[in-house]
Amino acid sequence: MKLFLIIIFTFSLSCKAQTETKLEPKLENIAWIAGNWKAEAFGGLAEENWSEPSGDSMMASFKLIHNGKVSFYEIEIIREVENTLILQLKHFNGDLKGWETKDETVDFPLVEITSSKVVFEGMTFEKIDDKTMIVSVDIHADDGSVETATFHYTKE
């Protein structure tokens, strides 16, 4: 009987995950991303600070500190464009020299939003609870390979 209940419980959780309601591509549906987040990553400390939605966008700054020095920065935005959302970012060295050319951005079009997850092509934000978020990012190497980096963020 106990095994039967475990199977039923697992099945119901699986069904819930598969049928979670998709939300409209509106910034208010992802406002839970806003805040000051920190995680251990790449052998250092990652800090990501997201603004509340305003002006049809959300903005973030990111920095990675390794051995007491900034390895790199990012400026990120999520904005509403033509009835969808897009995440765009630019990278900078510790001295603010850009990685991308002047008018180039790294773009992540929206795939879907649920109450606890925002999926862009190549980047996913998952709300675990009010103080915990997991961000997964696909990193493309020069040789064409792709590695997924996972950040286990805690909100301050």
101 found inside a domain: yes
142 found inside a domain: yes
Conformation bin of residue 73: beta by default, left when phi > 0, alpha when psi is -120 to 50: beta
State mean pLDDT over 20-49: 96
Q: How many domains does the chain have?
A: 1
State mean pLDDT over 59-77: 97
124 found inside a domain: yes
More confident: 19 or 111:
111
Q: pLDDT tens across 89-128, in order?
A: 999 999 999 999 999 999 999 999 999 999 999 999 999 9
> Tell me, what's the pLDDT at 60?
98
6 found inside a domain: no
16 found inside a domain: no
Measured distance CA(126)–CA(123) in Å, rounded: 10
Q: CATH number of the domain that 55 lies in?
A: 2.40.128.20
Give the residues across from 137 on adjacent strands. Answer: 123, 149
Residues 61 and 73 sit within 8 Å (Cβ to Cβ): yes
Residues 98 and 91 sit within 8 Å (Cβ to Cβ): yes
8 found inside a domain: no
39 found inside a domain: yes
> Tell me, what's the pLDDT at 119?
98
**Mean pLDDT value across the chain:** 90
Conformation bin of residue 96: beta by default, left when phi > 0, alpha when psi is -120 to 50: left
Largest CA distance in the chain: 64
37 found inside a domain: yes
Q: pLDDT tens across 128-155, in order?
A: 999 999 999 999 888 999 999 999 999 9
pLDDT at 47 over 50: yes
State mean pLDDT over 63-74: 96
Question: Residue 71: which residues within 8 A CB-CB, separation 6 or more?
Answer: 42, 44, 64, 65, 94
> Tell me, what's the pLDDT at 19?
67
pLDDT band at 10; cut points 50, 70, 90: very low
The domain of 89 spans 21-155
φ and ψ at residue 52, rounded to 5 degrees: -70, 155
Model pTM score: 0.84
